[in-house]
Every structure is written in structure tokens, then in C-alpha cells.
């Protein structure tokens, strides 16, 4: 059995895509930049700071710290204002309730701390996590494993005893780089073939597949053929 489970937020536990995209677009309008939603969607999970820098550079605009910080502030404000539109994915709460009896849990999101704190308070989720980390707690964004390694450290658990649940290619790569097991969830914008390239240990359609997820987390260590039984398919 694993000792800890680390969850991503955007696209994994919560359906935030529309709110995140609109927040980016609203912030960018302040510097007269238009960007397609697909461009933003494919970068959710890498951190807003890096995404804004990439967009500004692509448009040939200055990406100095003052400008980026202004955009981050506007994006954060927009997300918080529209937080009521964010809903947990079906099965998320059931899974959290089932896991809390057996393992430590953490949230490791590349969204900004004010957004995550607001969301957890609003959705009454704070008590479900033994540790919460955001983009403000790390220097390097996913796919760098820093955020997951820091989560394991806060939980007092070795990386190899952790399982990460992620929806993005960046997140799966970060989990594997951290030497953690990873369950990829097809609730983000990435397809099964795309996620398979990062070699997650299990792929599920949604968090509603509670039995498969719990079986992997709670029983794999006791099953000699667990990897074959629960591998990507």
C-alpha cells in the first residue's frame, strides 16, 4: 500500500478549464493581447507566470517582472471572482473521503496560492489535505518534479511511497521524474495516447472509477502482478 496520494487541482479534482481560460484572456486584454483558448488549455498546469511569459514573448512584447506580476494579479482576481462556476468532478469527493481513512493526502497545484486557498475554503475541502502546495511554493514549474518532491517532504513520506493523480502531460512527467507512481485522469485536454507517452502507471476516464483507483493505491503493494493488472489501458 502507498502512504500518500498527491492530487493536482485544475482538470483533475475540479473542472476549472473555462474559468482559467477566461481569466487568462481577461488579464491579457489589459495589454491588448488576444490568445486562443486552445493555446491556454494546453498549458494549464505549467504555472501562469510561465504561460504569460511565453505569450508575451510570442507576441514580441516585453515580459518584464512588473508586467508579468500585473497580469498574474489580474488573472488571480478574475479566477476568484468566478470561482462559483468551478465544480468538482463527479467522484472527487467520494474518492477523497475513501482515501482519508488510509493515506495522507496533499494538493500540489501550479495555480497561484490565493486562488487555491479561496477554492478550498469555498468548496469546504481544506480539511481533506494534510499539505497544500501552489505555484508560489516552488521555483520550477511542472514538468519539473519540485512541487511533488516538496509535497512528499511535507507529508513526511518517501517519493516512491506516493501516488500522484494528474490530468496533464506536464503533471504526469513531473510525477514520474519525482520517482512517484502516477494515475492519469482523462478529464483534461490531453488524450490517452498523449498521456501514455509519459508512462503513467494507470489511466482512468474519470475519478468516478473509484474501485480501480483504490485498488491501485491500497492493494498494489500486496499484489505481485498489480502492475500488469492495473497498467495503462
Domain with residues 17-84, CATH architecture: Orthogonal Bundle (1.10)
Per-residue pLDDT reduced to its tens digit, 70-86: 999 999 999 999 999 99
- pLDDT surpasses 50 at 225: no
Per-residue pLDDT reduced to its tens digit, 79-125: 999 999 999 999 999 999 999 889 999 999 999 999 999 999 999 99
Q: What is the pLDDT of residue 101?
A: 87
Q: What would the 3-class secondary structure string for 155-197 be?
A: HCCCHHHEEEEECCHHHHHHHHHCCCEEEEECCCCCCHHHHHC
- pLDDT surpasses 50 at 224: no
C-alpha cell of 26? 481577461
Confidence of residue 220 (pLDDT cuts 50, 70, 90): low
Considering the entire predicted model, what is its pTM? 0.92
- pLDDT surpasses 60 at 229: no
Cα 111 to Cα 45: distance, rounded to the nearest angstrom: 7
> To the nearest whole number, what is the mean pLDDT of the chain?
93
Numbered ranges of CATH 3.40.50.1000 in the chain: 4-15+86-230
Q: What is the pLDDT of residue 62?
A: 86
201 CA to centre of own chain: 17
Numbered ranges of CATH 1.10.150 in the chain: 17-84
Pick the CATH number of 4-15+86-230 from 3.40.190.10, 3.90.1150.10, 3.40.50.1000, 3.40.1440.10: 3.40.50.1000
Cα 107 to Cα 186: distance, rounded to the nearest angstrom: 18
Helix (H) or strand (E) holding 80: helix 65-81
Per-residue pLDDT reduced to its tens digit, 146-189: 999 999 999 999 999 999 999 999 999 999 999 999 999 999 99
Which residue in this structure is represented by grid cell 498527491? 6
C-alpha cell of 233? 489501458
Per-residue pLDDT reduced to its tens digit, 190-211: 999 999 999 999 999 999 999 9
Per-residue pLDDT reduced to its tens digit, 4-60: 999 999 999 999 999 999 999 999 999 999 999 999 999 998 999 999 999 999 999
Q: Where are the beta strands (DSSP E) in 34-161?
A: 87-88, 104-108, 131-133
Which residue in this structure is represented by grid cell 493526502? 105
Q: What is the pLDDT of residue 49?
A: 95
CA distances from 87 to 38, 48, 177 (A): 21, 21, 30
Helix (H) or strand (E) holding 79: helix 65-81
The closest alpha carbon to 7, from 121, 138, 155, 229, belongs to 155
Amino acid at each position: 500500500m502507498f502512504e500518500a496520494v498527491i492530487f493536482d487541482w485544475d482538470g483533475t479534482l475540479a473542472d476549472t478549464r473555462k474559468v482559467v481560460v477566461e481569466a487568462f484572456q481577461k488579464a491579457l486584454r489589459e495589454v491588448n493581447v488576444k490568445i486562443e483558448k486552445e493555446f491556454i488549455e494546453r498549458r494549464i498546469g505549467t504555472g501562469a507566470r510561465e504561460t504569460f511569459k511565453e505569450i508575451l514573448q510570442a507576441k514580441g512584447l516585453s515580459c518584464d517582472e512588473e508586467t508579468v506580476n500585473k497580469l498574474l494579479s489580474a488573472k488571480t482576481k478574475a479566477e476568484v471572482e468566478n470561482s462559483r462556476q468551478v465544480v468538482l468532478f463527479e467522484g472527487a469527493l467520494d474518492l477523497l473521503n475513501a482515501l482519508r481513512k488510509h493515506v495522507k493526502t496533499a494538493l500540489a497545484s501550479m495555480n497561484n496560492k490565493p486562488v487555491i486557498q479561496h477554492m478550498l475554503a469555498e468548496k469546504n475541502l481544506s480539511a481533506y489535505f494534510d499539505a497544500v502546495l501552489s505555484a508560489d511554493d516552488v521555483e520550477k514549474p511542472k514538468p519539473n518534479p519540485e512541487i511533488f518532491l516538496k509535497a512528499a517532504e511535507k507529508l513526511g513520506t518517501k517519493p516512491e511511497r506516493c501516488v500522484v493523480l494528474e490530468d496533464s502531460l506536464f503533471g504526469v512527467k513531473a510525477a514520474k521524474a519525482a520517482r512517484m507512481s502516477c494515475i492519469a485522469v482523462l478529464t483534461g485536454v490531453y488524450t490517452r495516447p498523449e498521456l501514455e507517452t509519459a508512462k503513467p502507471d494507470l489511466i482512468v476516464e474519470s475519478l468516478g472509477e473509484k474501485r480501480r483507483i483504490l485498488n491501485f493505491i491500497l492493494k498494489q503493494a500486496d499484489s505481485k502482478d498489480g502492475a500488469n493488472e492495473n497498467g495503462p489501458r
